[in-house]
């Protein structure tokens, strides 16, 4: 009671908060969540995503970041309340106008039920992919299909596994079940039965991608990606004997790295189990593998899930690889000029020379829109295969919205982005495939961050991605 009373008495203005964050930066991480000021000591808590995650939230409003990763995790919000040391005099005082309007739009969409959670609907959505999987398994095991029938039915089975992965994606984005522990149990059960591993950790790491999209210190330094060159900052990482004109990198990327995505997740699941002392997980995984081999289900329950994992990695790459990438915000804080490849907006000592542009570049909205491209928006077929995430800009603005509702927000998101002079990057499937391949062929191509411009609610003609020479211009409107 005393702690809460002290918190309620400690009312902070924006300047008070920034002064307090500066004072504490050597001892603690200070950030705001839904109007509450939280202080977490450097030695008091070890974040699963690494200290750098909290470091890059220091001195900021982290409401959207926390919600994207922990919307239904009640224990996380309980921990944040325990770490609360004050309240902001105005809940939105730390965020720029563009983010305030985004929050208003989100509230409107919430009132329309687009963010609703339900245990019944959450489990009901597994029926369709399970029917595809079970039907293909039965046909391939019982019937004697010719090679054409075999290929078609195998594709249906792989599609079923892919749809199941999209279900797990929505679940771990806190878009299906109202309680985080139910989500954890559901994802563990489905991933073990369907894929023979526990991939919840992989989806948990996906939350970092949504908080720091295309920020290379967070988003592009995991697993095998460190050997690839995807941006000028990665120069020299790729083996010289395969560098050439980029053909070797493309072959390695599409022929080895992405097909091995599923195997990497199996290995990561084992490493997590060993690290946490969960001895029963490897035993269960081994038992399922023996069962699959013993009953001749290797193709249906081992190969096809790996194909689906390749497909989900392939779809994800199309939305981001060719878009602007930047370094972390927690770099040199002493420079006083704006470096568009340093962070998704000027840091406290940087400026573009225009306050309105500074505010937009510092916003959550800009950090989500600038590095993201929708692919095949409006396409029913690709929308089904990609789990509704063809509306990918909407997905990054509202990561906790179930993917089947994203298209319902498209027109309003487009109008909102246009109002603030930001481009809505979109491309066809073949266009996105071409752009990502070209980025691998020539990583020196620079994808420039879009320059905000007041469009007076009229979409500019040049707000879509285009390439000129070695510079990949994404929505610049100078």
pLDDT tens by residue, 399-454: 999 999 999 999 999 999 999 989 899 999 999 999 888 888 877 777 777 777 75
Among candidates 162, 446, 122, which has minimal Cα distance to 304? Answer: 162
Q: Return the minimum-mean-pLDDT range out of 14-18, 170-174, 270-274, 447-451.
A: 447-451
Considering the domain architecture, whether residues 321 and 377 belong to the same structural domain is answered as yes
Q: What is the pLDDT of residue 59?
A: 87
First to last CA, the chain: 55
**Taking residues 169-175, what's their average pLDDT?**
92
Strand partners, 447: 472
Considering the domain architecture, whether residues 86 and 104 belong to the same structural domain is answered as no
Residue pLDDT, tens place only, 300-328: 999 999 999 999 989 988 998 888 887 76
- Starting at the edge strand that comes first in sequence, how are the strands of the sheet with 465-468 ordered? 446-448, 471-474, 465-468
Query: To which residue do tokens 């894929």 refer?
Result: 195
Query: To which residue do tokens 């005393």 refer?
Result: 2
Considering the domain architecture, whether residues 143 and 71 belong to the same structural domain is answered as no
Q: Return the minimum-mean-pLDDT range out of 39-43, 173-177, 237-241.
A: 237-241
Band (177; pLDDT cuts 50, 70, 90): very high
- The total domain count for the chain is 2
Residue pLDDT, tens place only, 42-67: 877 777 767 778 888 888 899 999 99
Considering the domain architecture, whether residues 81 and 104 belong to the same structural domain is answered as no
Considering the domain architecture, whether residues 63 and 130 belong to the same structural domain is answered as no
Considering the domain architecture, whether residues 85 and 112 belong to the same structural domain is answered as no
Considering the domain architecture, whether residues 363 and 467 belong to the same structural domain is answered as yes
Considering the domain architecture, whether residues 348 and 244 belong to the same structural domain is answered as yes
Residues 164, 383: Cα–Cα separation, whole Å? 15
**Taking residues 356-379, what's their average pLDDT?**
90
Model confidence at 462: pLDDT above 50? no
Considering the domain architecture, whether residues 89 and 147 belong to the same structural domain is answered as no
Residues 231, 215: Cα–Cα separation, whole Å? 11
94, 116, 141 — which closes off a domain?
94
Range of the domain at 388: 96-478
DSSP string, 319-379: TTTTS--B--SSS-----S--TTTSSS--TT---S-HHHHHHHTSHHHHHHTT--EESTT-
**Taking residues 251-277, what's their average pLDDT?**
85
Considering the domain architecture, whether residues 10 and 158 belong to the same structural domain is answered as no
**Taking residues 268-283, what's their average pLDDT?**
88
Model confidence at 470: pLDDT above 60? no
34, 64, 94 — which closes off a domain?
94
CATH number at residue 45: 3.10.120.10
Cβ atoms 426, 377 nearer than 8 A:
yes
94, 122, 150 — which closes off a domain?
94
Considering the domain architecture, whether residues 72 and 134 belong to the same structural domain is answered as no
Considering the domain architecture, whether residues 107 and 90 belong to the same structural domain is answered as no
Strand partners, 147: none
């Amino acid at each position: 009671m005393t702690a809460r009373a002290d918190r309620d008495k400690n009312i902070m203005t924006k300047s008070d908060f920034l002064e307090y964050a500066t004072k504490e930066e050597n001892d603690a991480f200070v950030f705001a969540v839904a109007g509450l000021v939280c202080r977490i000591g450097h030695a008091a808590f070890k974040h699963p995503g690494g200290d750098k995650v909290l470091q890059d939230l220091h001195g900021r409003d982290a409401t959207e970041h926390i919600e994207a990763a922990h919307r239904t995790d009640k224990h996380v919000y309980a921990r944040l309340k325990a770490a609360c040391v004050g309240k902001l005099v105005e809940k939105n005082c730390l965020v720029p106008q563009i983010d305030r309007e985004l929050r208003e739009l989100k509230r409107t969409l919430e009132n329309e039920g687009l963010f609703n959670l339900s245990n019944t609907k959450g489990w009901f959505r597994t029926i369709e992919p399970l029917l595809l999987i079970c039907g293909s398994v039965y046909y391939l095991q019982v019937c004697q299909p010719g090679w054409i029938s075999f290929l078609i039915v195998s594709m249906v089975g792989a599609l079923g596994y892919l749809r199941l992965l999209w279900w797990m994606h929505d679940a771990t984005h806190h878009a299906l079940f109202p309680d985080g522990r139910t989500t954890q149990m559901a994802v563990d059960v489905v991933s073990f039965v369907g894929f023979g591993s526990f991939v919840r950790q992989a989806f948990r790491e996906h939350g970092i991608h949504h908080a720091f999209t295309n920020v290379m210190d967070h988003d592009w330094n995991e697993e095998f990606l460190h050997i690839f060159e995807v941006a000028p900052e990665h120069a020299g990482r790729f083996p010289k004997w395969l560098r050439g004109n980029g053909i070797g990198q493309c072959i390695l990327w599409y022929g080895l790295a992405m097909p091995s995505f599923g195997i990497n997740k199996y290995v990561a699941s084992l490493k997590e189990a060993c690290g946490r002392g969960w001895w029963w997980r490897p035993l269960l995984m081994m038992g399922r593998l023996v069962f699959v081999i013993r009953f001749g289900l290797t193709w249906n329950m081992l190969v096809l899930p790996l194909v689906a994992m390749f497909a989900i990695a392939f779809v994800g790459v199309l939305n981001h690889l060719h878009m602007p990438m930047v370094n972390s915000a927690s770099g040199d804080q002493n420079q006083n000029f704006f470096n568009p490849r340093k962070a998704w907006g000027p840091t406290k000592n940087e400026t573009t020379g225009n306050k309105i542009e500074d505010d937009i570049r510092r916003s959550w909205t800009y950090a989500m829109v600038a590095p993201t491209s929708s692919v095949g928006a409006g396409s029913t077929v690709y929308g089904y295969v990609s789990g509704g995430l063809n509306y990918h800009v909407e997905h990054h603005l509202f990561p906790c919205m179930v993917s089947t509702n994203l298209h319902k927000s498209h027109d309003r998101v487009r109008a909102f982005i246009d109002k603030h002079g930001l481009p809505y990057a979109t491309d066809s499937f073949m266009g996105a495939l071409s752009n990502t391949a070209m980025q691998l062929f020539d990583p020196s191509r620079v994808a420039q961050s879009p320059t905000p411009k007041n469009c007076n609610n009229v979409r500019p003609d040049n707000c879509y991605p285009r390439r000129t020479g070695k510079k990949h211009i994404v929505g610049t409107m100078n």
